Amino acid sequence: MGGARRVLIDGRGGISSIKVVEAETRAPEPDEVRIRTLASGIGFADVMAAHGGYPLAPRGTFTPGYDLAGRVEACGADVADLEEGRLVVALNPQFGCQADAVCMKAELVVPVNEDADPAQAVALVLNYLTAHCLVHRKADLTGGETVLVHAAAGGVGTALLQLGRRLNLTMYGTASRAKHDVVRELGGIPIDYRSEDFVEVIRREHPHGIDAAFDPFGGENLRRSYDVVGRGGRVVSYGFAGDSFGGRAEMIKGLLRMAWLNAWPDGKRVSLCATPDEVRKNNAWYRETLSGLVRMLEAGEVQPVIGARVPLAEAAEGYRRVAEGSVTGKVVLIH
């Protein structure tokens, strides 16, 4: 049915093994649509998967990418609420979005205003859904509270700062010094993780602890995040990257550490946010939340930070930038 480019990784060779190949497209199943991709996102999960460190990735060679923005190209026989040519965004919990043509279930597809920038639209999907889940479903923040945001200048971090500012949160954000201006512009109080100890900084300002911390690293960083949260506070983990590119052992240790911390009778709680799994379990939440974020984008209430727009043919360069942490916000592949 014609060809389309797609990224391939094998989970063994790291970034140097990333390929962009031509592959045949297929017709959508009755409950699917086929989307002609305009922009797809690169997340740290993709980088971990390229290095074999993401336990939830498919085995063998596969196409990564959780999120895309594009136009509906074909609809399955049972799809009634979408039409060809419609601009949409979607999250595919099974990966596969870093491709020019993607078939996925229509229930995962949400329409976007026609004048939306596809790069900004795709930045809403994984990053802002994750941030929304962290703030509202897991930490259940209501406003005026104090929080710690790790990797505050990254894709999820900048989304957290924007959503947190809407709740009038006091937000501390760890980031390299070169990115402190961005953290301040988005309402955060920057902490240089290279030259400052975030535990000392927060304990000095808040001796009784803060209300919540959001941690994408796991390991010792998760335990230290727990230390700055006060009685009744919440720590939410959304990754187990550790000091490099994760791995099954890192994830198992992270889950065991969470269970151990939750066993302490100090009124604190630690929870996990895995956005693709949240999408699988609760399609109603996914559609309602993503549709709400789309409306916020259209109204100018959120402005996703795009750190780099990289042509699909140069996907390995986009992965390198994410792995190095050399950009602020989201790295987007342009198709």
Domain end, chosen from 225, 258, 275, is at 275
pLDDT at residue 255, as a whole number: 80
CATH code of 245's domain: 3.40.50.720
Residue ranges of the chain with per-residue pLDDT less than 50: none
**Looking at residue 17, which CATH number applies to its domain?**
3.90.180.10
Q: How many domains does the chain have?
A: 2
* 249 and 297 inside one domain: no
What's the confidence (pLDDT) of residue 171? Answer: 98
Q: Do 259 and 140 belong together in one domain?
A: yes
DSSP notation for 12-49: SSGGGG-EEEEEE--PPPTTEEEEEEEEEEE-HHHHHH
Question: Which residues partner with 74 through β-bridges?
Answer: 34
How far apart, in whole angstroms, are the C-alpha atoms of residue 275 and residue 56? 12
Residues 269 and 146 in one domain: yes
Calpha distance 329→335 (Å, rounded): 19
**Per-residue model confidence (pLDDT) at position 256:** 82
pLDDT at 104: 97
* 250 in the same domain as 135: yes
Residues 13, 35 share a domain: yes
**Strand ranges (E), 178-275:** 188-192, 210-215, 229-237, 269-272
Same structural domain, 130 and 113: no
Question: Residue 288: what pLDDT?
Answer: 98
* Cβ neighbours of residue 263 closer than 8 Å, sequence gap 6 or more: none
Q: Are residues 133 and 264 in the same domain?
A: yes
Model-level pTM greater than 0.85? yes
pLDDT given for residue 199 in this prediction = 97
One domain, residues 45 and 175: no
Buried b (16+ CB within 10 A) or exposed e, 212-244: bbbbbbbbebbbebbebbbeebbbbbbbbbbee
Examine the domain organization and report whether 213 and 305 are in the same domain.
no
The helix (H) or strand (E) run that includes residue 172 is strand 170-175
Q: Which of 228, 246, 275 is the last residue of a domain?
A: 275
CB 41 within 8 A of CB 333: yes
Do 52 and 144 lie in one domain? The reply is: no
Tell me what pLDDT residue 263 has. 86
Whether residues 269 and 297 share a domain: the answer is no
Is the domain of 267 the same as that of 192? Answer: yes
Residues spanned by the domain of 71: 3-125+282-334
Domain endpoint, select from 226, 247, 275: 275
Radius of gyration of the chain (CA): 19
Where does residue 122 fall: left (phi above 0), alpha (psi -120 to 50 degrees), or beta otherwise?
alpha
